[in-house]
Structure 1
Amino acid sequence: MQSNKFLRLFFFLSMPLLFWACDNNELEDELEDEFEFQHVVSYEFLDSISSEEISARFGENNPASGFINFDITAHKITYMTENYDGTEVEASGLILIPIVSGSSKLTSFQHSTLAKDPNPEIDQESRAPSYLSVDNAEIHLSASLFAANGYMISAPDYIGYGSTKDMFHPYEHAQTTATTSYDMLVAAREYAEFLDVKIRTDNDTEEEELYLLGYSQGGNSTMALHKYIEENHSDVFTITRSAMGAGAYHKSAVGDYIFNYEGDLGFSISLYLWVMDTYDRVYLQRGMDYYLQEPYASEVKNNGYFALSNTNPQEIFTEEFIAEVNDPNSEFSLALADNDIHDWKAEAPIKLYHHENDQLVPYFNSVDAYNNMTDNGSTEVLFETYTFTNVSPEEIHGAAGGNFFADVISLYFRSGI
């Protein structure tokens, strides 16, 4: 069983109403005296969730029930990481721990896009992982399912959410995404050590197993994290497998596709404005007027990215900016290229997932990643193309996400297929 230290901590922290007169801090102080944190700044027990409750979330006769084997506990931690401007910030994230008799599989779970917007009806701050919101299906369903199957989940909020909610979120800036997720993972492993939660090791190498996964923005974040670990911290973590779905890995090609598109894209351009604004803040600092024609520049500056309803790039963007996109040596093109994460050699196995008719994140992102990474001699890159046609075009991206999480837990993480 898990150690007495963990059971005592869980007992005291999860039953505050029954033991409100007891000095829980005394027990925590005793435990902390035995352990000196290097990475975790603060921690908070959030909830204990039974396997029966998780199963009920999926409804009756759902295949997911076959993967729900353990109760889980939920915790929020904060830790230090570096923002895009080089400043140190105290970021936050969620940890889900399965109550198992043996070891847990350490897993970094990168979430998909959560809107940041001045309009509270659009803003999704409350869905960041550490809030443990029922409105975030990725956490409430998918991450909880993985945890109940024996995976210890490390889910960073990302900078701009949770403890850093008042900060700008550097949307799909590869370096910041990678370091924020990596530092959370390091802190999560330290927190597991503090609670005497055992991490599963490979039978042959005795190295700790590590799994990475994420869909959409989470797919991009997972690719960035995988690359960052292998290129900078292979002595700290050895990745077992990574699964990433529908990520925008080839930013240069995406920029060419979106900003040069003629006619209506057929979907909101808001997320691409966010990426554009991120790269401007990180690399260029020109301001929205350089990129957008009026009245669109004022609309976005006053009301946020999601206020823009026009989906015709040739009417939205300035000629000067589009010309720069088409110059591979321009400052903005170099910023896009700095965030390309589709063309490198991976040592650990990767599986890509993407629907061929995805409108929001073009399919060529995964095609390009598969071809380039395979050509570079990556150990193993698999590619699953979804082709289902029973949903409307605008719902394909979201529907494929459901397939992604089901396929990863049932096939890829379990059997490598």
Structure 2
Amino acid sequence: MKLQNTFLILSLLLSLFIVSCSNNDDPITDEPQQFNYLESEKFVSTISQGMAQVSFTVLASQFDEAAGLANEVSNDASVFKLVYTSTFQGEEIGVSGLVALPDQSGNFPVISFQNGTNVEHSRAPSADPNSNLFRILESVATMGFIVVIPDYPGFGESEQVLHPYLERGNTLPSLLDMLKATREFVGQSHIKASLNDELFLMGYSQGGWSTLQLQKAIEEDGLESYQLKASSSGAGPYNLSLINSNIVALDTYPMPYFLAYLMHAYQQHEQFSNALNEIFADEYAAKIPDLFDGVTSGASINDELTTTVADLLQPTYRSGYESNDDFASIRQAFSRNSITAWETSIPTRLYHGTSDLFVPPVASEKLKTDFEELGLTDDDVRLILMPDADHQSGILPFGFASLNWFLSIRESSQN
């Protein structure tokens, strides 16, 4: 209820704000340049310093974690949609995302936010930049950050493909290339802000999984012009085998569309060889492909499925997933796309609500244990459990806590 009331207040404030900037939507052009990634840009809106201060003051009245954030606001910000070149299924593709940046000269660090689970084209970041969550994220640019929010393949400019839900190989290129396109974008003469080399990563739910995949890739392979400073992930399904086993063992699971989304994407993108009717009961297996049409909401998909696990899944899958050779390719796909602990040198935080029924906290607890077995301590990887928070109510507390942590690191680096 607190989250709903806060979003209602912010919606009223932001609706006034959006009207004030909605007439300025012409693309900005610059001198001709050859870019490797950036294809186009379009101005979306301006966020005033005063409006951001009001918004964060309202948020602080509802969330302890947001206390003091209004005092960090120091500048106006501008929001743009970027279209850029990446790869998907080994082929070149145009994808998109949002960039919010300070509307003033200076060198600023980047925060890359990886979005959570979404099935609707109309709710992608670049399609819905004025939604409450994305507006809050964009407003962080008024604190002297460049904020990057990729759409992921399957959304924005790439609606023609099925989103590769929790697929490492089809997700990572779009995240890395968004950062490269951002570097090209801010290098233009009409953009006041410039990059310094500091990069912060954060994401929640699917975005938590994406954030750790991105962090690990950057640590292993590097990323030109960026120095990774810290990474914060919330409520991610890091170990897909563990998540699957947890769901299979339940009597009821409140978000059956999560599992259907995963299996449908994996089947379509040949992550495994099994047919959907080997996993789901025939009634639901026949429905699933048409449900993920980019229009039907997650709630509506849930309504077409069932929360009763014994009715949702084939008995042979429930009893044989972990050992039956018929499901070996599924187990291999989950292993290939899961996060495995590594000897990270980047300060990392894992957040998880203790009452999360969608992605259980054991996902983060197990990963923390795996890091500890490699000799990493709380100074390296810290697990922060959010008391009584469920999957939805944990989003904003996670975000504000992560932002405060990033602000403290930035302050330390400036001293």
Q: Distance in 2 between matches of 1:17 and 1:101?
A: 24
- Cα 1:288–1:337, aligned 2, differ >3 Å: closer, same or farther? same
Is 2:284 the partner of 1:296?
yes
213, 218, 221: which is aligned to 2:210?
221
164, 175, 196: which is aligned to 2:169?
175
Q: Is the 8 A contact 2:274 2:329 kept in 1?
A: no
Is 2:304 the partner of 1:308?
yes
Q: Is the 8 A contact 1:359 1:397 kept in 2?
A: yes
Q: Distance in 1 between matches of 2:241 and 2:76?
A: 44
Q: Is the 8 A contact 1:242 1:349 kept in 2?
A: yes
What residue in structure 2 maps to residue 139 of structure 1? 134
What residue in structure 1 maps to residue 404 of structure 2? 410
Structure 2 letter corresponding to 1:82: T
Structure 2 letter corresponding to 1:54: A
Gaps of 5+ in 1: 1-13, 117-123, 201-207
55, 58, 66: which is aligned to 2:71?
66
What residue in structure 1 maps to residue 222 of structure 2? 233
Share of identical aligned residues, percent? 24
- Cα 1:198–1:297, aligned 2, differ >3 Å: closer, same or farther? same
What SS is found at the alignment partner of 2:42? strand
Q: Distance in 1 between matches of 2:225 and 2:263?
A: 33
351, 354, 357: which is aligned to 2:352?
354
Superposed, which structure 2 residues align to 1:142-291 within 5 Å?
143-194=137-188, 195=191, 197-200=193-196, 208-233=197-222, 237-261=226-250, 263-265=251-253, 267-282=254-269, 283-291=271-279
Query: Cα deviation per residue 1:220-263 (whole Å; 9 max; x = unaligned)?
Result: 110111111112235653310001111110111111111232x2
What residue in structure 2 maps to residue 42 of structure 1? 40
Structure 2 letter corresponding to 1:79: Y
Structure 2 letter corresponding to 1:192: V
What SS is found at the alignment partner of 2:400? helix
What SS is found at the alignment partner of 1:399? coil
What residue in structure 2 maps to residue 4 of structure 1? none
Q: Is the 8 A contact 2:203 2:232 kept in 1?
A: yes
What SS is found at the alignment partner of 1:346? coil
Q: Distance in 1 between matches of 2:56 and 2:342?
A: 38
What residue in structure 2 maps to residue 205 of structure 1? none
What residue in structure 1 maps to residue 371 of structure 2? 373
Q: Is the 8 A contact 2:267 2:273 kept in 1?
A: yes
Structure 1 letter corresponding to 2:112: S
Is 2:312 the partner of 1:325?
no
Q: Distance in 2 between matches of 1:16 and 1:260?
A: 50
Offset of residue 17 of structure 1: 7.2
What SS is found at the alignment partner of 2:195? coil
Is 2:97 the partner of 1:98?
no
Offset of residue 196 of structure 1: 5.5
Aligned length: 370
Q: Is the 8 A contact 2:100 2:146 kept in 1?
A: yes
What SS is found at the alignment partner of 1:410? helix
- Cα 1:328–1:364, aligned 2, differ >3 Å: closer, same or farther? farther
- Cα 1:174–1:16, aligned 2, differ >3 Å: closer, same or farther? closer
Structure 2 letter corresponding to 1:88: E
Offset of residue 66 of structure 1: 2.1
What residue in structure 1 maps to residue 3 of structure 2? none
Q: Distance in 2 between matches of 1:412 and 1:17?
A: 34
What residue in structure 1 maps to residue 122 of structure 2? 126
Over the residues paired in the alignment, what is the CA RMSD in angstroms? 2.8
What residue in structure 1 maps to residue 31 of structure 2? 32
Q: Distance in 2 between matches of 1:301 and 1:82?
A: 24
What SS is found at the alignment partner of 1:243? strand
Structure 2 letter corresponding to 1:249: Y
Q: Distance in 1 between matches of 2:85 and 2:319?
A: 40
Gaps of 5+ in 2: 1-19, 62-66, 293-300
Query: Cα deviation per residue 1:157-195 (whole Å; 9 max; x = unaligned)?
Result: 001110012320111112222221111111111111123
What SS is found at the alignment partner of 2:177? helix
Structure 1 letter corresponding to 2:282: E
Q: Distance in 2 between matches of 1:197 and 1:96?
A: 10
Offset of residue 197 of structure 1: 2.7
Structure 2 letter corresponding to 1:346: T
- Cα 1:76–1:351, aligned 2, differ >3 Å: closer, same or farther? same
Offset of residue 133 of structure 1: 3.2
What SS is found at the alignment partner of 2:106? coil
Structure 1 letter corresponding to 2:386: Y
Is 2:70 the partner of 1:76?
no
TM superposition score normalised by structure 1? 0.81
- Cα 1:377–1:100, aligned 2, differ >3 Å: closer, same or farther? farther
- Cα 1:18–1:190, aligned 2, differ >3 Å: closer, same or farther? closer
Superposed, which structure 2 residues align to 1:1-20 within 5 Å?
none
Q: Is the 8 A contact 2:115 2:207 kept in 1?
A: yes
Q: Is the 8 A contact 2:211 2:233 kept in 1?
A: yes
Structure 2 letter corresponding to 1:65: A
Structure 2 letter corresponding to 1:292: F
Q: Distance in 2 between matches of 1:264 and 1:147?
A: 41
What residue in structure 1 maps to residue 384 of structure 2? 384
- Cα 1:17–1:279, aligned 2, differ >3 Å: closer, same or farther? closer
What SS is found at the alignment partner of 2:193? coil
- Cα 1:290–1:54, aligned 2, differ >3 Å: closer, same or farther? same
Offset of residue 328 of structure 1: 7.9
Q: Is the 8 A contact 1:111 1:138 kept in 2?
A: no
- Cα 1:197–1:58, aligned 2, differ >3 Å: closer, same or farther? closer
